[in-house]
Amino acid sequence: MNYKTTTQKIVFFFLTKIVIGILVVVGSVALVENAGRSLLDKVQLTGELQNAIIGITQSAIGLISYVLLFRVYEKRQIKELRLATFWKNACIGCLIGLMIQSLVILVIYMAGGYSITRVNSISFLFPGFIAAITAGFVAEILLRGILFRLIEEKTGTIIALIISALFFAIIHSAARGATLVSVLSTSIQAGILFSAVYVFTRSLWLPIFLHFAWDFAEPGIYGGINTGISIEKTFFTSKITGPELLTGGRFGPGNSIQSAIFCLIAALVFLWLAYKKNNFIKPYRRKSI
């Protein structure tokens, strides 16, 4: 009996859940990448169409593997991915991501550092759209659905937010050429803002589509640098110049000082709204016997 109890504690320990969840989702997505590429290489398809099929399939498989795993593992309904909340949160997430990126570019434009040299065909949006969809779905399932959610359930919302911000700060500070501003901006945007919208809605749809819009708008629409999205075609062929503080330098406008400020303001608003909704989770305390 003690053996079973100890085994159950290990299996259902939050760190075990995180490791298993990441392995299952990443493994499923990697399988689609490897098997899908092998199959599609035998078919006469363009590179863009192949990327679209692989990207959409990876997003779907990431969602399905998450839902099936935690429905069985945690014996619960996956309320954070309810279809009833899909359209509302998807629209709000896209609007917020596009709005913040537009404000970031507007600051550079007003400083005389952003100019459009060419407006391309609508079809030039396609590669950025697919890359951003894949990044938004897979990253947020891993980072918010598994990592943040399980840490929050164990430690509470405030500590989970701190851990999330520190996690991105540590990861980004290891990047070559990272600056205080780029690290701060990434920590606020990816560590706090995306987590804050999840806490407010208790839905993964909003952070997924906020992440999508963020990654789509920066390179796909405005032609800026996004280190996580590598595409050649963008809607606006643009020229971005000026101080690294405003342009983000090698890391792109999303890592600028104005990006950090706008994301912090948005995060604080969502956290305040979440607190008013009583959505904060208190730290777990073992009951005294």
The secondary structure of 208-231 as a DSSP string is HHHHHHHHIIIIIIT----TT---
The predicted structure's pLDDT at residue 4: 60
Residue 75 clears pLDDT 80, i.e. is over it: yes
Residue 281 has pLDDT above 50, yes or no: yes
Cα–Cα dist 31/253, whole Å = 33
What pLDDT is stored for residue 288 in this prediction? 38
Domain residue limits, the chain: 82-276
pLDDT digits (tens, 9 = 90+) for 97-129: 999 999 999 999 999 999 999 999 999 999 999
| Dihedral sign, Cα of residue 132, residue 135, residue 138, residue 140 | negative
**Mean pLDDT across the stretch 124-143?**
95
pLDDT at 55: 93
Q: Which of 38-56 are b and which e, b meaning 16 or more Cβ less than 10 Å from the residue's Cβ?
A: eebeeeeeeeeebbbbbbe
pTM for the model:
0.93
Residues of 186-220 as b/e, b for ≥16 C-beta within 10 angstroms? bbbbbbbbbbbbbbbbebbbbbbbbbbbbbbbbbb
Amino acid code (one letter) for 94: C
CA 71 – CA 78 distance, rounded (Å): 6
Query: Which residue bears the tokens 């996004």?
Result: 226
Considering only CA atoms, which of 108, 128, 134, 113 is closest in space to residue 29?
134
pLDDT by residue (tens digit) across 219-257?
A: 999 999 888 888 889 999 999 999 999 999 989 999 999
Which of 2-16, 18-32, 168-182 has the weakest average pLDDT?
Answer: 2-16
